[in-house]
Homo-oligomer: A and B are copies of this chain.
Amino acid sequence: MTLVAHAQSMHFETPLPLQCGASVRAYDLAYETYGTLNADRSNAVLICHALNASHHVAGVYAGQDKSEGWWDTMIGPGKPVDTDRFFVIGVNNLGSCFGSTGPMHLNPDTGRVYGADFPVVTVEDWVDAQARLLDALGIRTLAAVMGGSLGGMQALSWSLRYPERVRHAAVIASAPNLNAENIAFNEVARRAIVTDPDFHGGHFYQHDVVPKRGLRIARMIGHITYLSDDVMNAKFGRDLRRSVGEVAQDDYRYSTQDVEFQIESYLRYQGDKFSEYFDANTYLLITRALDYFDPAREHGGNLAQALAAATAKFLLVSFTTDWRFSPARSREMVKALLDNGRHVSYAEVDAPHGHDAFLLDDPRYLAVVRAWFARIAADSESEPVAAP
């Protein structure tokens, strides 16, 4: 059965104070829900998105067959996160470019488009905004919060900022902070955008241009780091470009600027596509949110101390070929949680796809998540529930 998704939006009038000291005066959050909230409002699952994703997590929009949500392999009727049992919420984060208030919207303080004036938002700010959305939806406690990559950081942050509101947290292909190399890749991508002459200091909207050159480069860099070396070799290797009939060429044409190898063609295509729809200021904001996330920072770098506040039961998953958020980073979190005597399930999935694996339909990975959520459902049904 096809799950049909409906995009919704919630308006908030109360200013949201941010970690940076500024606040967002009034804002909208785009969101979607799937499944039915049960009578005691105990089956809600919040899904947090990563860099290039949105509230459209699962299902398709009516009449648009190809509009699957970004985690449709994971979430839906009978799927690992079963919408026949759980009420699943997807939400687009503040500062993003898929419907929630972001840099391309009007700044109520100036009456002009925010652009680069949109305040810097952090993982913690997003979690606070999401908490208000749950309040508005009448949901006090989450059966689970779940996310991959940057979404996993939000799930972890939920468990720290609102421990009493999170019964379970799934942190997939994530890390307790970015390392120097991660930050370095983000910085190169940002520099490509900021130094694009069409960026105009982040106020390109007024010039009717988009810094597409920079966005293309940013996306190409991102793509390389999402994939493993192995999967790139298997998928592209040193194959030369394909002709119109999709036959790989076998002669070098000796050019520095034309496409010669298939991997070049693939990356250029990905970069072009991305530059057509993604907002440049959003790219800066979201990569910065990644850079800044570091719950151990206030504890002198002691992650175990930082995670002491979390009381949820955890699932962590990592992928062997993920060099962006390597298994070692997940193991750091597992150890820190265990040091606090927390309940943690951990799966290190031997998958060839690199960081992208968390979005793909690896059967072992999906089976782990399915089993974990089945246990949550079973636990919930056996738990005595207070009268509403």
Contact = CB atoms under 8 A, between A and B. Distances in A.
Interface of A: 19-21, 116, 119-120, 177-181, 183-185, 187-188, 190-192, 194-197, 202, 213, 216-217, 220-221, 223-224, 227, 229, 232-233, 235-238, 252, 254-257, 260-261, 263-264, 267-268, 271, 281, 284-285, 287-288, 291-292, 294, 297, 323
Contacts of A184: 220, 223-224, 232, 263-264, 267
Contacts of A177: 238
B178 A238 contact: yes
A227 B215 CA distance: 25
Oligomer: number of copies: 2
Contacts of A183: 238, 261, 263-264
A299 to B, nearest CB: 14
A187 B284 contact: no
The 7 closest A-B pairs by CB, nearest first: A20-B254, A256-B284, A180-B232, A120-B254, A180-B236, A195-B213, A188-B220
Contacts of A195: 213, 216-217
30 contacts: A19-B254, A20-B254, A120-B255, A120-B256, A177-B238, A179-B233, A180-B229, A180-B235, A180-B236, A181-B229, A181-B232, A183-B238, A183-B261, A184-B224, A184-B264, A184-B267, A187-B268, A188-B267, A190-B257, A191-B217, A191-B268, A192-B217, A195-B213, A195-B216, A197-B197, A202-B257, A229-B323, A238-B294, A256-B281, A261-B291
A296 to B, nearest CB: 10
Contacts of A19: 254
Nearest to A18: B254
Nearest to A264: B187
A202 B184 CA distance: 28
Contacts of A257: 116, 190, 194, 202, 284
A48 to B, nearest CB: 21
Contacts of A190: 256-257
